[in-house]
Structure 1
Amino acid sequence: MIKLVAIDVDDTLLNSQGKLLESTKRTIKQAVEQQVKVVLCSGRPLAGVKHFLQELNIVADDQYVITFNGSVIESVTGKVLKKSGLSFTTALEIEQYSQRHDVAFNFVDANSRIITSNHHVGRITVVQAWENSAGILVRATKELSKDNQIIKAVFGDEQKKLDDIENDVIRQFGAENYVVRAADNFLEVMHKNVDKGAALKFLTAKLGLVPSDVMVIGDERNDIPMFNFAGTAVVMGNGSDLAKEHADYVTSSNDADGIEQAFNEFVFK
């Protein structure tokens, strides 16, 4: 019996227009009414998923969300269970790397602020701020307090530019940090001990659940650690080929009631 469903947000929970399908809203509200925990797991901060949580009526103190690709585990009301960020030294090195390679970047802090030293703020950073209901603070890293809680760094640029630097970023930062291509336009660097799967493992243990109690729904490579943990791994029809290699089941796309189909197959039985 599935007791917890962990769902990626972009291109999974949301359709290709960044909206919740009516079938998705109906399905998740039904699951919550049946005491199934529904946990949104996103690279976004809490501010970037809060309006979706409200639409889905996931608002109680005993409901949880995994944000920043696993760097923060918290209640939907903002009570933090666990948080892991980047060191100030790593932040400086990432800023310097971005300048050498002329690639747009930003940091996201514990307050969901987007911080960048790019005076010509990149298009992707602007979209990221809009999606997360966040402002953009233009500051050099050395101007930030060393106590500032930087949760993750984001190289946010055009796909080809990130394709060109991805392997080098992994070589430069991957030994001491978790580096993941979260989407075509996002290459992210986080604390070495975090990913969505590790966060989900922590949360389920806190709730007294085991992997067989858990279903995961996602679409991309940053969801793979969750697929490897959960008893049931579902990949969206629009998901990447790599993600599908880790699936127990491939559901319909995010534009074709894929969430509803997955719940009907594994939860409402």
Structure 2
Amino acid sequence: MPYKLVALDVDGTLLNDDHVMTEQNMQTVMEAARQGIEIVLCTGRGPQNTIPFLEKMGLGGYVISHNGAATVEVETGNIVHQFAMDHMALTPFMEYCREKGVHFDINTAFGMYVDSVDALAGPIRYMYEKFLMLPSNLPAWEELEGPVVKFTAFGESHDLDEVFREWSQWTPVYNMLRSGEFFIDLMHEEASKGNALKQLAARRGYKPEEILAIGNYYNDITMLTFAGLGIAMDNSPVEVKAAANEITLSNNEDGVHAALMKYCLK
């Protein structure tokens, strides 16, 4: 099957553990694009710290950001689609985090907000610097530019395990998922990488069997199962590997390069 669209997760997939896109991965993705394959980055990141990876490769098109909550056109910055959350229902989650000392941020399509930027320090500040995104102070709800699309809690893995366990016992309001070892995301109940990819595929005129998707974590499962061929990285949890059709090398072994060479490039 000749694939017409390749959906790539970013952290843990396209990037290695040093958060670097290697030259080999970059050149192979660029070659796939030269051969007519549309490249779409699908990530938990926002557009601002995702689009530069495509620009570095000289590519345009679209990014599916915030784990599917907002799809953005690269060249124009236009929001093609977004799943707006009921931000008022976030109040108990915010109160829980403040009481328990769990850091959180609130995201619109292009904005990221925390209680106090001046209070950011240590691992929390390093996390934002590592992901190339410094937040702003959270204003009043009515002053936000655009709807809220994602709420993210950040902390040590064992602490978030407990948070996830407790929130799972609450009445479901949002789509809650682990988007990384140190993150829990809350989004609109219909927001996911798979749903966003489905909408973009319909917009672009692609059938699921014409799509190849590569990812490494729980937030990638919906896009791996939507695509005609879903490929999990070798560094994926066992549940992600089980949801995929194939497994490639790890993100530290240029697994994206290996997968594209095997399934896409002539």
State whether TM-score is above 0.5.
Answer: yes
Q: Which runs of 5+ in 2 are unaligned?
A: none
1:101/1:80 Cα in 2 relative to 1: closer, same or farther (>3 Å)? same
Counterparts of 2:108 and 2:30, CA distance in 1: 31
Q: What is the identity, as a one-letter code, of the residue corresponding to 1:250?
A: I
1:57/1:69 Cα in 2 relative to 1: closer, same or farther (>3 Å)? same
Q: What is the identity, as a one-letter code, of the residue corresponding to 2:253?
A: A
1:110/1:124 Cα in 2 relative to 1: closer, same or farther (>3 Å)? farther
Q: What is the identity, as a one-letter code, of the residue corresponding to 1:212?
A: E
1:122/1:210 Cα in 2 relative to 1: closer, same or farther (>3 Å)? farther
**Aligned equivalent of 1:48:** 49
CA distances 1:121-175 after superposition (whole Å, capped 9, x unpaired): 3645423432443333234x7x3326552221111011111011112223326x2
2:165 to 143, 167, 185: 167
Q: What is the identity, as a one-letter code, of the residue corresponding to 1:183?
A: G
Correspondence 1:99-118 to 2 at 5 A: 99-116=98-115
**Aligned equivalent of 1:93:** 92
Aligned-pair RMSD on alpha carbons?
A: 1.9
Residues 1:248 and 2:249 are matched in the alignment:
no
Counterparts of 1:85 and 1:94, CA distance in 2: 17
CA distances 1:244-267 after superposition (whole Å, capped 9, x unpaired): 011211111111121111011111
Counterparts of 1:38 and 1:267, CA distance in 2: 12
CA distances 1:226-254 after superposition (whole Å, capped 9, x unpaired): 11101101111111111101121111111
Correspondence 1:254-265 to 2 at 5 A: 254-265=251-262
Correspondence 1:81-230 to 2 at 5 A: 81-116=80-115, 120-121=119-120, 123-139=122-138, 143-145=140-142, 148=145, 149-172=147-170, 175-230=172-227
Counterparts of 2:179 and 2:126, CA distance in 1: 15
SS class of match (2:265): coil
Q: What is the identity, as a one-letter code, of the residue corresponding to 1:56?
A: M
Is the CA contact (8 Å cut-off) linking 1:106 and 1:125 kept in structure 2? no
Identical-residue share of aligned pairs (%): 27
Worse overlay, 71-80 or 103-112: 103-112
Worse overlay, 68-77 or 49-58: 49-58
Counterparts of 1:119 and 1:262, CA distance in 2: 43
SS class of match (1:171): coil
Counterparts of 1:183 and 1:223, CA distance in 2: 10
Query: 1:114 Cα shift?
Result: 3.0
1:123/1:189 Cα in 2 relative to 1: closer, same or farther (>3 Å)? farther
Q: Which runs of 5+ in 1 are unaligned?
A: none
Q: What is the identity, as a one-letter code, of the residue corresponding to 1:11?
A: G
Residues 1:57 and 2:58 are matched in the alignment:
yes
SS class of match (1:48): coil
Using structure 2 for the length normalisation, give the TM-score.
0.92
Using structure 1 for the length normalisation, give the TM-score.
0.91
1:126/1:108 Cα in 2 relative to 1: closer, same or farther (>3 Å)? farther
Counterparts of 2:92 and 2:155, CA distance in 1: 18
1:98/1:118 Cα in 2 relative to 1: closer, same or farther (>3 Å)? farther
SS class of match (1:17): coil
1:202/1:125 Cα in 2 relative to 1: closer, same or farther (>3 Å)? farther
Q: What is the identity, as a one-letter code, of the residue corresponding to 2:125?
A: V
Is the CA contact (8 Å cut-off) linking 1:107 and 1:152 kept in structure 2? yes
1:110/1:257 Cα in 2 relative to 1: closer, same or farther (>3 Å)? closer
Kindly tell me the number of residue pairs found equivalent between the two proteins: 263
Is the CA contact (8 Å cut-off) linking 1:236 and 1:250 kept in structure 2? yes
SS class of match (1:228): helix
